[in-house]
Structure 1
């Protein structure tokens, strides 16, 4: 009798485990996980671009030496540089897309960008993570990066870099708006690292016209005072 009772308990326990597993599979948590399990990103399948302009002195304040010397060496005086031109969805973004292009960017291609993207490390990483999702080949993508950079007028009083400059994020954005007719508050965001300006993110159509981008705008810096550290 004891053996039968023990066997019955084991059967009931196993049945309970199976039932719990089935219920769990149908629970909202697991259903949410399945919904987030998106398909691989496809090159060329995106809605718009974000041009990210990094304030180089902020980056170089914590990234001196080694491979960053090309951008941050003692003889360098970079101000705004291109962090990247990023394909975006209306919500979220694609990255590391499959492409027939090589992962490695030839130096002959990268060197042409050094005036606005001052290191092969930066050029190569931006291609692999973001450029690969543009649907363009490497040379055409980096031509697009330059066109986007030249599309934006950078306010002259922000680029002097001879002394620290403190403004609100809204004031920084307003200077860009004043210098770029057609740009709106909903299409630009200043990003901060602590209390220093990290970068300016500007939303552009695939044809590089200014456009609004609610998600990017919401993630902008909102502190009252943002400092642009000097180039030296």
Structure 2
């Protein structure tokens, strides 16, 4: 395991299901956003031969990438909203691949979540990038070459310390098949940190989870 990650976890030593969805009556009607950051090595390990090669068969492995920016309500969330905007064009999709390395995912996220934002595709994905760039990935995760085991609470602590103003109640660490899956961070519509008890309550309940190494 990377020494920086070991040191961090020693010092500070979710099921993936989200809130129940409901179709929005009107695109743009929601309370806040959830920025979902996926630990790419976990996806690649889980998907195996079915993994998207754009994400998993690259010379420089991805670490945290954007799963999506999700409009959220205090209870539940809208999905697959009717919108007057067409799907994102090829140029929009290609520009997002450095932080969302899957063309299929980008289009899926627009249909399920972006359509509920009230924004046109270019603006929605520009906002997604802005949200991603707001978050400082803890150095241990940004640079680690090795994997290891970690408590979900330690992952939250690392993100909280790297991002002033971010509280434990404003995020959740999720897990799947015993692996770190995602870090979900709640943001206002202006992209300020905010508490989100419904999301926080659905964090991973395992005491230790595996952090697969980037490969």
Measured against the shorter chain, the TM-score band is: 0.7 to 0.9
1:207 pairs, out of 190, 205, 209, with: 190
Q: Is 1:107–1:120's contact at 8 Å kept on the other side of the alignment?
A: no
CA distance in 2, matches of 1:165, 1:60: 16
Give the drift of 1:222. Answer: 2.0
**Number of corresponding residues:** 195
The structure with the largest alpha-carbon Rg is 1
Report matched runs for 1:45-124 at 5 Å.
45-65=29-49, 68-73=52-57, 75-102=59-86, 104-124=87-107
Q: Which residue of 1 aligns with 2:109?
A: 126
TM-score (norm 1): 0.80
State how far apart, in whole Å, the 2-side matches of 1:84 and 1:175 are: 21
Residue in structure 2 matched with residue 217 of structure 1 by the alignment: 200
Gaps of 5+ in 2: 1-19
Between the two structures, name the one with larger relative contact order (CA 8 Å, sep ≥ 6). Answer: 2
More helix by share: 1
Give the Cα–Cα distance (whole angstroms) in 2 for the partners of residues 106 and 58 of structure 1.
29
Helix, strand or coil at the partner of 1:150: helix
C-alpha deviations, 1:101-140, integer Å up to 9, x for none? 11x3211001111110011101100000000000000000
Alignment of 1:132-143 (within 5 A): 132-143=115-126
Q: What is the Cα deviation at residue 194 of structure 1?
A: 2.0
Distance 2:211 2:172 in 1: 15
2:23–2:81 CA contact under 8 A, matched in 1: no
Gap regions ≥5 residues in structure 1: 1-35
